[in-house]
């Protein structure tokens, strides 16, 4: 990916050096534009070194050589245009069409639709109605505005204006760059285990980490879908930018959250490992360690997939099968008995792992083996198979 990174004179500029380094290490091709105020804070040599790239400054604005006109040629070069950090001053200039330095000239000349701006400043400057009006104007003109976070600021104050973590910025860049075959699709994904309470301290659960569901949500967002993620108690960071994130604990809470949203979505992917049984009674106090044996009477939980399969109208329903034996046979049986459109079969060993190896079955008879590979790649393959169903007449 070719990324043109504009850097302005905010104290958070030191963090953007890390962003440039990370983007380069991931194989992206960089060019960096620094404003005059940015140069006062950090040397262009630093950015050139960490980004392994050319760095342009205001002194290059009219340095025309061999027909190369910096602001027009650079504006045609990138796949994605990023300004991070963006000061209130630069935001105001771009919003009102000023072109008084190399960066703002490039922004005025850039006619691509993949552009990201990352404001960072004192919280009173950020919350000023003029700044907010300028950001709304940029958003209406096709800029993705990545809002700052709340925290301690360099000025010693506390509020919303802090430069977000570079991982968030990188994910935003990836979302902008990817093709959008799932654009217009509303998708609900479940992830993680469930907790079935025995008493206030103990639960019955399983080994699911939530990684597969979270990767599906992340990749679905990159592919352009509107994503709702319903997650059990996973211990990993939820993916950035999902449109709705719902945290649940029990199988019943999972059922309620999914059914409530079922008619609002086009696709449901049940990647969660939902408990099949739950205690008949839950003790209100901690059960003491007394008897040599403890018997817990269990009852069946509601089969969410089966319920959705009976209720679905035009929705696409995708299930997961995890088995320790006879995986393909059980998966195929589940595909038809629960009225699914697609099922992903994977071995028990994949639970909690960063890698997976799956077989994708569709109700039209298609079977496809994917992996072993990283779960991110597995998620992409699953969702690309979903595109075929989505686009079917």
Specify the pLDDT at position 64: 81
Whole-structure pTM over 0.85, yes or no? Answer: yes
Cα 383 from Cα 220, distance rounded (Å): 7
The predicted pLDDT at position 351 comes to: 67
- From CA 393, how far away is CA 390, in angstroms rounded? 8
The alpha helices in the chain, defined as continuous H runs, are 13-25, 36-39, 44-51, 70-76, 88-95, 102-109, 123-127, 129-140, 166-177, 211-222, 251-262, 304-311, 327-337, 375-390
| 14 burial type by CB count under 10 A (0-12 exposed, 13-18 middle, 19+ buried) | middle
Render pLDDT for 141-169 as a digit per residue (tens, 0 to 9): 999 999 999 988 887 888 999 999 999 99
Say what the pLDDT of residue 350 is: 63
Low-confidence stretches of the chain (pLDDT beneath 50): none
pLDDT at site 153: 83
The domains found in the chain, sorted by start residue, are 2-177 (3.40.50.1950), 186-390 (3.40.50.10300)
pLDDT at 353: 72
* pLDDT value of position 204: 94
Catalytic center residues:
155
Which pair of tokens denotes residue 143?
A: 């800029």
pLDDT value at position 346? 86
Tokens of 170: 């990188």
pLDDT score at 160: 93
How far is 331 from 353, CA to CA, in rounded Å? 21
What is residue 352's predicted lDDT score, i.e. its pLDDT? 64
């Amino acid at each position: 990916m070719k990324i043109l990174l504009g850097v302005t004179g905010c104290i958070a500029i030191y963090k953007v050096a890390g962003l440039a380094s990370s983007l380069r290490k991931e194989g992206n091709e960089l060019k960096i534009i620094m404003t005059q105020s940015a140069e006062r804070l950090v040397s262009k040599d630093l950015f050139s070194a960490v980004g392994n790239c050319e760095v342009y400054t205001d002194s290059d604005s009219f340095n025309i050589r061999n027909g190369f006109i910096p602001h027009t040629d650079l504006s045609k070069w990138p796949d994605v245009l990023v300004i991070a950090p963006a000061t209130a001053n630069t935001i105001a200039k771009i919003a009102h069409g000023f072109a008084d330095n190399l960066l703002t000239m490039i922004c005025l000349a850039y006619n691509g639709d993949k552009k990201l701006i990352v404001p960072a400043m004192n919280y009173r400057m950020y919350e000023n109605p003029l700044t907010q009006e300028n950001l709304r104007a940029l958003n209406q003109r096709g800029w993705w505005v990545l809002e700052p976070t709340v925290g301690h600021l360099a000025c010693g104050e506390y509020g919303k204006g802090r430069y977000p973590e570079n991982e968030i910025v990188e994910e935003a860049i990836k979302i902008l760059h990817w093709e959008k075959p799932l654009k217009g699709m509303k998708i609900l994904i479940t992830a993680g285990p469930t907790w079935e309470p025995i008493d206030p301290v103990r639960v019955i659960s399983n080994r699911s980490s939530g990684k597969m569901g979270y990767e599906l949500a992340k990749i679905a967002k990159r592919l352009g879908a509107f994503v709702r993620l319903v997650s059990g108690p996973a211990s990993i960071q939820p993916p950035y930018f999902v449109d709705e994130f719902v945290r649940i604990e029990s199988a019943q809470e999972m059922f309620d959250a999914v059914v409530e949203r079922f008619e609002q979505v086009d696709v449901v992917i049940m990647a969660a490992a939902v408990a099949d049984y739950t205690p008949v009674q839950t003790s209100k106090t901690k059960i003491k360690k007394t008897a040599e044996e403890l018997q817990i009477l269990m009852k069946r939980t509601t089969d969410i997939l089966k319920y959705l399969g009976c209720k679905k109208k035009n929705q696409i329903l995708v299930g997961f099968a995890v088995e320790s034996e006879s995986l393909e046979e059980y998966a195929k049986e589940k595909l038809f008995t629960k009225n699914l459109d697609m099922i992903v079969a994977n071995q028990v060993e994949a639970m909690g792992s960063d890698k997976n190896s799956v077989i994708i079955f569709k109700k039209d008879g298609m079977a496809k083996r994917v992996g072993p590979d990283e779960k991110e790649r597995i998620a992409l393959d699953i969702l690309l198979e979903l595109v075929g169903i989505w686009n079917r007449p």
